[in-house]
Amino acid sequence: MENRPVPEDFRFNKALGQNFLTDKNLLASVCKDAGIEKGDTVVEIGTGAGTLTKALCEAGAKVFTFEVDRRLEEIVKKNLDGMDYTMIIGDVLRMSDEEIKKIVPEPFKVVANLPYYITTPLIMRFLESELDYISLTITIQKEVAERLLSEAGTPDYGAVTVAVRSYCDVVLNRTIDRRMFFPSPKVDSTVITLKKHENKYKIQDRKLFRNLVKCVFSARRKTLENNLKSGFSLKKEQCEILFNRLNLPPMIRGEKLSVEQFKSLADGIAETLNS
């Protein structure tokens, strides 16, 4: 199944992002990127024709693979004949943590070659969950990867960057040329790994942190002080005290804050509002 992993008459569903990887060396490299070791439990999102599933099994993982397109079930059965894996026809975005926990033993690593439109919801679905994931290794559109890897104050740096990096470190693994997919999509892809950091930032109030990030980036041309006045009804003097404590210049824009500064500011706002 090197080049065409599906029968001649298979109609690729573009809306589901059906562009499959077939190169064995590349698939083995993606398993390495994910740090797969013998005995690891892996949740794969988007089985496709099972090419990555097969590579994961060969790397020694116990694979639980989720796919929404029922037509692929028989194809995968054929392609992975004799291999030990569990295929679930279902959408993890619509499943509860409890439903996933019933199927998959924790902790697990997530590996996914994702349709672009679900990239962010899918990442956040795991990051904000109660599920015990170790890391997410995902093949995503290059532009989305650049956003997640960007530095504070750059145009790519946004709410998603801060949200993701408040949970995980982001590692760039490799770029995949669009011609490596079958059929070829219009854009190149990037493989990144999100590695969960255990309480690196110990954020006290997640809801407030989320509101702060939203309030800053939905009006990123405003000064941070104005963001805080409109978003949290803080007074000028309260902002001044917070800014002094965090060593922030008075006219700073929120988009210049590092993830750590967002965390300190969110904690400071929580204290101010509770005092």
Burial 252-268 (b: 16+ CB within 10 A, else e): bbbbbbebebbbbbbbb
Query: Which residue in the set 115, 119, 173, 254 belongs to the binding site for ligand SAM (CB under 6 A)?
Result: 115
Which residue among 6, 31, 56, 68 contacts ligand SAM (CB under 6 A)?
Answer: 68
Closer Cβ to ligand SAM, 35 or 90, answer by number: 90
Using the contact rule CB under 6 A, the part of the chain among 47-55, 155-163, 170-178, 215-223 near ligand SAM is 47-55
Residue 267: both structure tokens together: 């904690």
Token pair of 95, please?
Answer: 């499943």
188 in helix, strand or coil? coil
Residue range at the interface with ligand SAM (CB under 6 A); choices 40-48, 99-107, 152-160, 216-224: 40-48
| 227 belongs to the binding site for ligand SAM (CB under 6 A) | no
Alpha carbons 65 and 79: distance in angstroms, whole number: 14
Q: How many CB atoms lie within 10 A of CB 60?
A: 13
Q: Does 66 bind ligand SAM (CB under 6 A)?
A: yes
Residue from 33, 34, 43, 51 binding ligand SAM (CB under 6 A): 51
Segment interacting with ligand SAM (CB under 6 A) among 61-69, 168-176, 191-199, 221-229: 61-69
Alpha helices in 171-258 (DSSP H): 206-217, 224-232, 236-245
The gap from C-alpha 12 to its chain's centroid, in whole angstroms, comes to 25
Q: Which residue has the tokens 């740096």?
A: 157
User: Which residues bind to ligand SAM, rule: CB under 6 A?
Assistant: 16-21, 45-48, 51-52, 66-69, 91-93, 113, 115, 118
